[in-house]
């Protein structure tokens, strides 16, 4: 294929282009109180880089904007081509994401992005024939698709604020665009007030030519809720609140997923459930509940003990000061989860399990917890008589 049939694209942040730009939250240096670990773990964990990162008090949290691009093309979840540049939702860390997505297209792992990896000169290329099949959107579109399109937790972070912006400023937008291939996603959108007539179902393998495309952008993804997130979160909590519900203790389980062979299964969860029931915990699997039930359940909870995962993202609906004990298989996602708990002003602590060394997976391995030790610290946590292990 000769060069006249290719367009060259420079990977960029997108901020050098003319856009309708609104700063929602600027970069901010914060001090996050290090999480309280309620159990002992190996010296190798304490000496790891991941542990040092988690315990660091000072950190910079992400910048957040609302931006509109005129006459651009949309590929994949949120990759935008305009004036010879390609960029995505994340303007500080998006370069690596573009590189990975292009390599996945080249290798055949994904058909979404449709650009070829950068060669000498540092520019990506796209075959012009793909443009000929672009879907034309000659109206004002708000993009709500998450960068993890079927991950419930990232839906809360990306889609909920997008819906809120779309509905609050309905006169500025004609259609809401979102990838919603799962039934639960459509149900949530309808429940929030997005009728089918206002929705464009985002096909991630198509290219769209957009006359006007608006989306929330961020410097990077750290799961820290900046001030601009909370109006949307409070709007959802208020919309679905149940005034007559009493507070309760809940344990967020992943048992059904584990039994179905999902990754990161807690091997002794059934035994743990039998024990934690003795402390009057209600056992819940959020994915088996409706969205409204999940919002209400977490909004009224007094104490939450849960296995790290998407279901624990519902803690964004908790009241400030709610007690949250996050049980994790390792350190991989813990720093981001602590950002979320801290930014929501929750009274949180962490209990670490141990991965199964015989699991062949490189990450997301099966794991277990010490039941006796865990129950002792949970009972103290509930009664607010916590020790602070070093």
Tens-digit pLDDT profile for residues 114-163: 999 987 667 999 998 888 889 999 999 999 999 999 999 999 999 999 99
pLDDT value of residue 367:
87
Range in 37-41, 97-101, 242-246, 350-354 with the lowest mean pLDDT:
242-246
| Burial class of 23 by CB neighbour count within 10 A (0 to 12, 13 to 18, 19+) | exposed
In sequence order, what are the residues at sequence separation of 6 or more whose Cβ sits closer than 8 angstroms to the Cβ of residue 367? Answer: 264, 265, 266, 267, 329, 330, 353, 354, 355, 356
| 260, pLDDT greater than 90 | no
Asked whether the predicted pLDDT for residue 385 surpasses 50, the reply is no
| Rounded Cα gap, residues 331 and 345, in angstroms | 21
- pLDDT per position as a tens digit, 169-224: 999 999 999 999 999 999 999 999 999 999 999 999 999 999 999 999 999 999 99
Judged on CB neighbours under 10 Å (0-12, 13-18, 19+), 120 is exposed
Q: How confident is the model at residue 361 (pLDDT cuts 50, 70, 90)?
A: confident
Predicted confidence at residue 386, as pLDDT, reads 46
- pLDDT at position 388, please? 40
Separation CA 231–CA 259 (nearest Å) = 38
What's the rounded Cα separation, in Å, for the pair 177 and 208? 11
Neighbours of 18 (CB within 10 A): 9
The percent of residues above 70 in pLDDT, for the chain, comes to 95
Average pLDDT, the chain: 91
CA contacts within 13 A on the Cβ side of 226 = 23
Instruction: Indicate whether 42 pLDDT > 70.
Output: no
**HSE-up of residue 86 (Cα within 13 Å, Cβ side):** 29
Q: What are the angstrom distances between the C-alpha of 171 and each of 140, 147, 168, 175?
A: 10, 26, 9, 11
Nearest Cα neighbor of 309 from 358, 362, 280, 269 is 269
- Per-residue pLDDT for 243 more than 80? no
**pLDDT of res. 390:** 33
pLDDT bracket for residue 43 (50, 70, 90): low
Residue 36 has a CB neighbour count (10 Å cut-off) of 16
State pLDDT tens for residues 318-332: 999 999 999 999 898
- If you count them, how many residues does the chain have? 390
């Amino acid at each position: 294929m000769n060069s006249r049939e290719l367009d060259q694209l420079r990977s960029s942040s997108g901020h050098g282009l003319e856009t309708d730009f609104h700063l929602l939250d600027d970069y901010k240096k914060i001090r996050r109180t290090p999480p309280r670990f309620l159990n002992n773990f190996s010296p190798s964990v304490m000496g790891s880089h991941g542990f040092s990162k988690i315990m660091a008090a000072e950190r910079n949290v992400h910048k957040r904007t609302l931006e509109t691009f005129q006459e651009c093309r949309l590929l994949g979840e949120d990759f935008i081509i305009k004036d010879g540049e390609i960029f995505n939702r994340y303007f500080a860390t998006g370069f690596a994401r573009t590189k990975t997505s292009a390599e996945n297209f080249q290798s055949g792992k994904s058909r979404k992005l449709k650009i070829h990896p950068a060669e000498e000169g540092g520019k990506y290329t796209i075959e012009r024939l793909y443009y000929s099949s672009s879907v034309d959107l000659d109206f004002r579109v708000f993009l709500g698709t998450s960068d993890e399109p079927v991950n419930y937790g990232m839906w809360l972070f990306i889609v909920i604020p997008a819906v809120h912006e779309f509905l609050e400023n309905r006169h500025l937008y004609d259609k809401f665009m979102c990838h919603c291939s799962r039934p639960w996603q459509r149900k949530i959108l309808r429940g929030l007030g997005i009728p089918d007539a206002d929705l464009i179902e985002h096909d991630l393998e198509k290219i769209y030519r957009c006359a006007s495309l608006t989306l929330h952008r961020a410097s990077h993804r750290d799961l820290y809720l900046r001030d601009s997130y909370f109006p949307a979160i409070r709007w959802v909590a208020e919309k679905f609140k149940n005034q007559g519900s009493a507070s309760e203790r809940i344990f967020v389980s992943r048992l059904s997923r584990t039994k179905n062979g999902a990754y990161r299964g807690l091997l002794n969860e059934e035994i743990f459930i039998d024990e934690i029931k003795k402390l009057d915990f209600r056992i819940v699997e959020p994915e088996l509940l409706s969205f409204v039930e999940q919002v209400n359940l977490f909004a009224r909870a007094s104490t939450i003990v849960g296995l790290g995962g998407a279901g624990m993202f519902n803690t964004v609906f908790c009241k400030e000061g709610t007690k949250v004990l996050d049980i994790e298989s390792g350190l991989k996602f813990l720093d981001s989860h602590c950002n979320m708990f801290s930014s929501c002003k929750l009274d949180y602590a962490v209990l670490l399990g141990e991965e199964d060394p015989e699991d062949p997976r490189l990450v997301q391995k099966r794991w277990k917890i010490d039941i006796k030790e865990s129950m002792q610290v949970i009972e103290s946590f509930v009664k607010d008589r916590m020790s602070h292990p070093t």
